Structure 1
Amino acid sequence: MSQYKEVVIGKKSLKYPVVQGGMGIGVSLGTLAGNVAKEGGAGTISAAQIGFREPDFYTNAEAANLRAIEKEIQTARKIAPTGVIGINIMTVTKEYEAQVRKAAECGVDFIVSGAGLPVKLPEYVKDFDVAIIPVVSSLRSAQVLIKMWQKRYQRLPDAVVIEGPKAGGHLGFLPEQLEDISDEEFEAEECRIIQYIRELGEANQIYIPVIVGGGVNTASDLKHHLELGADAIQAATKFVTTKECDAHPLYKEAYINCQKEDICIIKSPVGMPGRAIFNHFLDQVKKGLRPVQRCYRCMGACNPAKAPYCITEALIHAVKGELEEGLIFCGADAFQAAKITTVKQVMEELTQ
């Protein structure tokens, strides 16, 4: 039996209070998510341009992505038939509604949605039995979204992810906040959000689990956040350097070889700050040498005429191991990775 209190996502209980964060493009697909679920955590597939390996991706990305969502969910289910398996779909995705509906049709246990406020998510899943989990980074964003859901749809979140400033990929903070915010300041905000969610649950006679992510790498980190009142943690970077991770081996080696000073904050073409490993590609972007050649219509906020580079192409190059042409997203502590390990070992390190 697990030493932790029961955490229920939708209708399923986690053995361990660990949710693997979604990482795209192609870093967390069915294999990684399925193995995390098999080991008692919640596995999360990333829907971001998930169909990049489909033969028609470059001519019909929408169809390729929907097809790949089904394939990756099936892959995860074969590995963990009774495990807790979900998908992360960014709100800024142009085909957001279609992807949400497809994932729900395919029977995921939960849908995580951030990179903006998923205002219409309850509407898109109203005909499905699936848990919906928004990602927030401030008390204000949590209050605005949840009040909107209550008013429009009479729906509350089934869980909430609080994502801190040490997370990887796109971040829900202003660049100046990432420079100035301290661990203590964000933990104070974390506690305010947790208190709000607890009061919300009590007022509606339900229990809403709170999941905290960003810079969670050890069992002591997990314990600390549970002591602050969270129910589970979200870890992503730590799963990249596992054998089961869906990324190319060279992508994993980039984490192992990077130093703390290699990790930087960038401005994404969609206007949001992001965290990545500085490399030849980002050096070329800095010099203005990576203009967009074609648009894949991945995110509504991107203007290809003004974008410094195509984020779809950059992330695909990286996940395929073509690192000099790719953008390598990572968390703040990616430099701590020392070797290739396994999902089972990561789960043990986090929970024991």
Structure 2
Amino acid sequence: MIKTEICELLNIEYPILQGGMAWVATVELAAAVSNAGGLGIIGCGAAPKNVVKEEIAKIRKLTNKPFGVNVMLLSPHVDDIIELLCKERVPVITTGAGNPGKYISKFKEIGTKVIPVVPSVALGKRMEKIGADAIIVEGTEAGGHIGELTTMSLIPQVTDEVNIPVIAAGGIADGRGLVAALALGAKGVQIGTRFVCTVECRVHENYKNAIIKSSDRDAIVTGRSTGHPVRVLRNKLTKKLIELEKQNADIETLEKFGVGRLRKAVVDGDVENGSVMAGQISGLIKDIKTCKEVIQDIMVEAEKVRSSILSI
């Protein structure tokens, strides 16, 4: 099977990370991905310290493999969360929505690997300079909060400018995507939407079915006028948000309208009025499998694709 330096860096079998999606990346999903040979990641979102502590305790009962925790640096609880993660000696930390620079020395002292998510070359170079062990470079094809550059164009530009390993994210769901990312210079991939449609993912079945039923044009972007664009599946909520943006609604109005919408979709199963965050790859996903099946399928297909390329 394909091995890269990410496998060695994170002590995992396959170069596949699971995205640390808020409300979605629970301990059950993360443990299943880690047990299947990838790196499972618990998503903190804006959860308080005690909730995250419970999740870490649970995952250590479900797997003896490496796992990670995603920290949203804009969380009101971020300092408490960082203190907890250091105390618990979590193996891998991925970060988003901010600069983890002031925390990196603490993680380095205990051997924790720090992998920020970045949407540009400039931020990738900055993260390398402050001591990141690797970076997740996310293209605009991804679900949730996004940048503007595509994965295909962004990955080779970043890999040309940094010396630390790059992990590609955005628009990747199968073995073809993995091989393409490696060809562009990445050393691994982070996958989100494909792992939503797994047996172990605890999101409402309506959420999973919305992805499975989606087509290539259903993952759209809202919130560009706020400066914080989000990719979600088209529904009644997106229609209303787009109408508000056309009416030049202010940022406060738009953000207030969106409060609690992700939970409404993930937990309550309201996929018309909730925020169904999903990537452009949604139209490719047609079934629900175990995490082990997903990872094995990706690796088997990647080997076939690589062999066919080498035979040309």
CA apart distance, 1:247: 0.9
Aligned partner of 2:260 in structure 1 is: 313
In 2, Cα distance between equivalents of 1:351 and 1:331: 21
Say whether the 8 Å CA contact 2:121–2:158 is kept in structure 1: yes
**CA contact 2:168–2:181 (8 Å) conserved in 1:** yes
Alignment-mate amino acid for residue 346 of structure 1: V
**Structure 2 counterpart SS, 1:196:** coil
Give the aligned partner of residue 193 of structure 1. 158
State the distance in 2 between where 1:27 and 1:48 align: 10
Post-superposition CA distance 1:320-349 (Å, at most 9, x none):
112233111111111222122110111012
Match of 1:43 in 2: 40
Count how many residue pairs are aligned between Structure 1 and Structure 2: 295
1:237-256 map, 5 Å: 237-256=193-212
> Structure 2 vs 1, CA of residues 73 and 312 (structure 1 numbering), >3 Å: closer, same or farther?
farther
Once the two structures are overlaid, the 10-residue window that deviates more, 255-264 or 279-288, is 279-288
Aligned with 2:116 (options 125, 134, 137):
134
Q: Which segment is superposed worse, 38-47 or 270-279?
A: 270-279
The gaps in structure 2 that reach 5 residues or longer are 301-312
1:121 aligns with 2:96: no
Q: Which amino acid aligns with 1:318?
A: A
2:53 is aligned to: 70
Partner of 2:274: 326
Tell me the equivalent position of 1:7.
6
Aligned to 1:16: 14
**TM value normalised by structure 2:** 0.85
Q: Contact 2:241/2:254 (CA < 8 Å) preserved in 1?
A: no
Q: Is the 8 A contact 1:34 1:43 kept in 2?
A: yes
- Structure 2 counterparts to residues 215-254 of structure 1, below 5 A: 215-254=171-210
Identity score, percent: 28
- Offset, 1:16: 0.5
Residue 304 to residue 261, structure 1, CA distance change in 2 (3 Å): closer
CA contact (8 A) 1:121 1:132 kept: no
Q: Find the aligned partners of 2:224 and 2:31 in 1 and give their Cα distance.
A: 29
Q: Which moved more, 1:211-220 or 1:310-319?
A: 310-319
| TM-score between both structures, scaled by the size of structure 1 | 0.76
Q: Work out the CA distance in 2 between the residues paired with 1:71 and 1:270.
A: 34
Cα distance change on mapping 1:268 and 1:84 into 2, 3 Å? farther
* Deviation of 1:71 (Å): 1.6
Q: For residue 34 of structure 2, what is the amino acid of its counterpart?
A: A
1:79-90 counterparts in 2 under 5 A? 79-81=62-64, 83-90=65-72
Q: Distance in 1 between matches of 2:264 and 2:224?
A: 16
Task: Name 2:81's counterpart in structure 1.
Answer: 99
**Amino acid of the residue matched to residue 223 of structure 2?**
K
* Preserved contact between residue 45 and residue 86 of structure 1 (Cα < 8 Å): yes
Q: Cα offset for 1:232?
A: 0.9
**Residue 299 of structure 2 corresponds to residue 343 of structure 1:** no
Structure 1 pair 268/125, CA: closer, same or farther in 2 (3 Å)? farther
Q: Distance in 1 between matches of 2:226 and 2:83?
A: 24
Structure 2: distance between partners of 1:304 and 1:126: 38
Alpha carbons of structure 1 residues 312 and 41: separation in structure 2 relative to 1, 3 Å = farther
Equivalent residues of 1:6, 1:14 under 8 A apart: no
Structure 1 segment 55-66 matched on structure 2, within 5 A: 65-66=48-49
Contact 1:37 1:84 in 2 (8 A): yes
Question: SS at the partner of 1:44?
Answer: strand
